[in-house]
Amino acid sequence: MRPKTIALAVAAALSGIPAVQAGTILFDEAPVPLTDQEKRQIIASDRAVVDGQPVAIDYHTILRSGDLRGRRPDIGVFGQLFDINGQKLMAEDGSDVISSDNDFSSLLIGDNGRLYMVSHFEARPGAMYLTEMRQNRQNGSLYARRTRPLDFSGLKGGWVHCAGSVTPWGTHLGSEEYEPDAKTWRDGEISDYNAQMATYFGADPSEAVNVMNPYYYGYPVEVAVKNYSNATVDKHYAMGRIALELAYVMPDSKTAYMTDDGTNVGLFRFVADTEGDLSGGSLWVAQWNQISAGGLGAANLNWIYLGHATDDEVLGWIEQYSFADIFDEVEPNADDSCAEGYTSINSGHEDGDHQCLKLRDVNGDDAVDATDELIASRLETRRWAAMEGGTTEFRKMEGITFNPEAGRLYLAMSEVDRGMLDGTRVGKDGYPTPGSYDNYDLGGANHMTLAKGNVCGAVFAMDVDGAYAATNMYGLVAGVPMTEDYGADTESPDYDGQNKCDVNGIANPDNLTYMPGYDTLIIGEDTGSGHQNDMVWAYNLGSGQLTRIQTTPYGSETTSPYFYPNINGFAYLMSVVQHPYGESDSDKLEDPADDRGYTGYIGPFPAMDGD
């Protein structure tokens, strides 16, 4: 036995806990909230055993939306939304517009060696806040000293900043989810959801078609922090435009995976030209080649090339072209075929959207050529990917993370349903009769024909080759439905009328993070009826054991857990609680102040990077 392992065993014996080998973490399980009081709280594990050593932990709030930090009340209110001129957005009643949609928050070391946090707000217009942090070097506690919004005016604003990651070179990599459908600008049918962005330009939402260009939104956003007064914000247009949940950069500092949230969406891979520089590179879309329809399904992955572009090239195209410049569109024929010369696809934006499209001579050089294809690949990434044979049938693709020890990616699928099945939908009339809900496959390739769905969702695994290209996809862990409309064969006698997924398993997994060296995957939920109170789980990949480590208040979701193995001798599991009482159980809100989001962390832990 190695000296470190002997010391751990002795310490474990003295503390009364079982001896545990180095490289292990065990959490005391957080209870399922049962009482009304418990369902209003954030409850977290109060102890973890790390490398055999017991560690007292808890959930610690850094900031809540609406909190003031610093000496600038004009800009220092966490979550305040601003317009393009830096003026506060105001509600109809004259109050400040403050978002409670806290989302991904990164911890970064600035060029000056100080600790900072970059935080998302999943709004329209979006917001990111830079917070200068203070770390207690004795016990690891984190505090917010001052905060300010980042300036997106040079980028035409930010859009629905959802999940994110930290690059290998130490920058924040954010997202823009649910990209606005440019076709609706052509048709003059902009949804209220998309039109809300007009307020960023000082206009009424009814004027969105005149003040907004939808092609500015749907890209990875990189933030590099030098110090509190100097942080740069860039959008990487070369990486493509989708309903971006997040982009995750692999250890080679070139390959990035991008997950696409919604119905009938795709999985994308970008390879940068230069390490640590995402401003130019090549894009691929995954094609699901199914080898099993049973369980969660399994497939080999083929990658379809979508061309090379740079940020500067794509920015020029954004400012020059519209949907009508890129595609001709006709209605499907009566037999659901497309007219000659048009490609039949089903992808994106709508809840099952059969489209007949043909690429135009976009740049007007009298021929449809490779440049026109590149323009489509970056401005209409999902549609063009489908036209080129990529799979656009996934339902609710969420977070992604990487296990470097196993060479394996993990991908959260909040629901296994709709286009992932074969002309049907879980728990709806006609299920499981094929063809009863064929609008999700109609016109598309129908690569995915899983035999059974699961609205509780699942986490999939993907093995990668030496170039970090995923070669396959298969199910890892799934929620357990309690009701037929969520995928159970029969209504469970244990269904309590509130939790349609077993509370001892996951429900609608959202974002993931891997704890390197500890063989543990952290799974956060975004669920409505699946679990009344959303949860965060630790999943031991070796044993398959799930341990509940956090629960959140009524109507909230857990957003973007992210693990940091060593910041000045301490480890942290970031955990954000979005819009309490906002997704369900709004009638239970008693104090308006309770609906503010929480940005915080579970821990602190001792450093867990093996040093």
- pLDDT on residue 429: 75
pLDDT at 307: 98
**Any idea which of 467-471, 516-520, 542-546, 606-610 has the lowest mean pLDDT?**
606-610
Are 25 and 520 a contacting pair, CB within 8 Å? yes
Overall pTM > 0.85: yes
Task: Write down the pLDDT at residue 17.
Answer: 44
pLDDT in tens, 321-341: 999 999 999 999 999 999 999
**How many residues does the structure list for the chain?**
611
Q: Using 50, 70 and 90 to split pLDDT, how confident is the model at 434?
A: confident
Stretch 247-261: mean pLDDT: 98
Question: What six digits make up the tokens of 496?
Answer: 């309590």
Q: Outline where DSSP puts E strands in 261-386.
A: 263-265, 267-274, 277-292, 298-310, 327-330, 343-346, 354-359
Give residues with Cβ within 8 angstroms of 74, minimum separation 6. 88
pLDDT tops 70 at residue 193: yes
Q: 55 near 591, Cβ under 8 Å?
A: no
What does the pLDDT look like over 36-53, one tens digit per residue?
999 999 999 999 999 999
Question: Does 155 have pLDDT greater than 90?
Answer: yes
Average pLDDT estimate for 217-227: 98
For 525, residues 6+ apart whose C-beta sits below 8 A from its C-beta are 506, 507, 508, 509, 510, 531, 534, 535, 536, 537, 557, 558
Is the torsion defined by CA of 529, 532, 538, 543 positive or negative? negative
* Confidence check: pLDDT of 277 > 90: yes
Look at residue 13 in the predicted model and tell me its pLDDT.
Answer: 39
The 8-class DSSP code of residue 186 comes to H
User: What's residue 435's pLDDT?
Assistant: 79
Query: Residue 442: what pLDDT?
Result: 94
Judged against a pLDDT cut of 50, whether residue 11 lies above it is answered with no
| Per-residue pLDDT, 477 | 98
The pLDDT value given to residue 166: 98
The domain ranges of the chain are: 1-62+411-416+454-611
How far is it, in rounded angstroms, from Cα 218 to Cα 197? 13
Distance of CA 66 to the CA centre of its chain: 23
Segment 109-137 mean pLDDT: 98
Q: How confident is the model at residue 9 (pLDDT cuts 50, 70, 90)?
A: very low
Q: Is the pLDDT of residue 358 over 50?
A: yes
- Quote the CA–CA distance of 193 and 171 in Å, as a whole number: 30
pLDDT bin (cut points 50, 70, 90) of residue 436 is confident
**For range 548-569, the mean pLDDT:** 97
Per the structure block, which two tokens stand in for 603? 């821990």
CA dist 507 and 458 (Å) reads 8
Average pLDDT over the chain, rounded to an integer: 95
Query: Tell me, what DSSP letter sits at residue 133?
Result: E
Residue 2 pLDDT grade (very low, low, confident, very high; cuts 50, 70, 90)? very low
Token pair of 491 as six digits: 């209504």
Across 20-24, 377-381, 523-527, least confident range: 20-24
pLDDT at 20 over 80: no
Q: Which of 237-251, 435-449, 550-564 has the lowest mean pLDDT?
A: 435-449
The pLDDT value recorded for residue 12 is: 39
Q: Give residue 544's pLDDT.
A: 97
Higher pLDDT, 9 or 181: 181
- Burial (CB < 10 A; 0-12, 13-18, 19+), residue 99, is buried
Half-sphere exposure of 602 (CA within 13 A, CB side): 30
Which pLDDT score is estimated for 611? 64
Q: Are 531 and 30 in contact (CB under 8 A)?
A: no
